[in-house]
Structure 1
Amino acid sequence: MEERSISDVIEAYLKSILGDDPRIEIRRAEIADHFDVVPSQINYVIKTRFNLQNGYLVQSKRGGGGYIRIERVNLLDDDDVLQMLIANIGEAISEKDAAKIIKTLYEEKLISRREGDLMLVGVAKQTLNQANKQAEERLRARLLVALLTRLRYE
């Protein structure tokens, strides 16, 4: 039987709360107490599993009445989200982060499985084959931005 990490369990729990709702508001300390973990573990899960590359916007308010709002975004209906995604890529991106973005595009039905597979091949380390990591990540970012820009106009 496959053993799941606490991060996987917390992610599944938050996604189950989200369900069909477009957004949820949680209190970090309450979730941490629920799983008997430190609040920074909740931050880690939110930062790595609920980011724009994975199709989520996260807002937080600190203080006594603070909350963390997790909102699922529909990339197809919101050109601003695609623009933010493009801006989030920046000058360079790792193969892993590029793959997350492509996976999200597929899950949001912006691209077909075949298109996703072709995009993954295009951004793969073996395909780009640059002399150094920085050059590879810059080239990958330019390629991914070009692909996302093209999606905006389809």
Structure 2
Amino acid sequence: MRNVSEVIEQYLKQILQQSPGGVIEIQRNDLADQFNCVPSQINYVISTRFTLEKGYIVESKRGGGGYIRIQKIKLHSHGPVLDHIFRTIGSHMDQSASEGLLYQLEEGGFISEREAAIMKAAMAREVLTLKLPLRDEIRAKLLKAMLISLLSK
């Protein structure tokens, strides 16, 4: 049985996919009522599963007519994807951000589930047993090299 966070995440992804512009606006309290949970559960799902690293832009407006707007970032071709990779990775990258980028590329169909799993394993802090900031520098260089190799074919 899936937990409430997973159910909310899947629901939001489904309505995002059905949205013509890839953008949805939701009312946090309405969604909490729909899933019979507290509004902070909605905040948790959005803040952990709809991050920029995972390919989403989230805006919120508080107050009476407040809303949360979620937009899926679309990566259309390999040129812009490589640009996005260079902007996202930079000279340092922590494990969480690297996993988010790999998730985004897998979701977009640019890398396979197997390729993502292999790269995640190579990026793990248990494998890169170096002290910070060297670990994040090495992770960024390795990830760039692997992704460029995969995506520039």
Q: Considering only aligned residues, what root-mean-square deviation do their CA atoms show, in Å?
A: 3.2
**What are the Cα deviations for residues 91-148 of structure 1, in whole angstroms up to 9, with x where unaligned?**
4412x44223212212212234565355334423354221x35542343245446666
Residue of structure 2 aligned with 1:8, choices 6, 9, 13? 6
**What are the Cα deviations for residues 11-45 of structure 1, in whole angstroms up to 9, with x where unaligned?**
12212222332111001111112222221111110
Which residue is equivalent to 2:84? 82
Q: CA separation in 2, counterparts of 1:23 and 1:127?
A: 38
Offset of 1:69 from its aligned partner? 0.7
**What are the Cα deviations for residues 77-103 of structure 1, in whole angstroms up to 9, with x where unaligned?**
59499279617x784412x44223212
Ranges in structure 2 where 5+ consecutive residues have no aligned partner = none
Identity of aligned residues (%): 41
The code of the aligned residue for 2:88 comes to: I
Question: Does the C-alpha gap of structure 1 residues 53 and 149 become closer, same or farther in structure 2, counting only changes over 3 Å?
Answer: same
2:110/2:151 contact within 8 Å kept? no
1:79/1:152 contact within 8 Å kept? no
Q: CA separation in 2, counterparts of 1:84 and 1:51?
A: 18
Question: Does the C-alpha gap of structure 1 residues 42 and 136 become closer, same or farther in structure 2, counting only changes over 3 Å?
Answer: same
2:86/2:144 contact within 8 Å kept? no
With normalisation by structure 2, the TM-score equals 0.73
With normalisation by structure 1, the TM-score equals 0.73
Q: CA separation in 2, counterparts of 1:85 and 1:61?
A: 27
The code of the aligned residue for 1:40 comes to: S
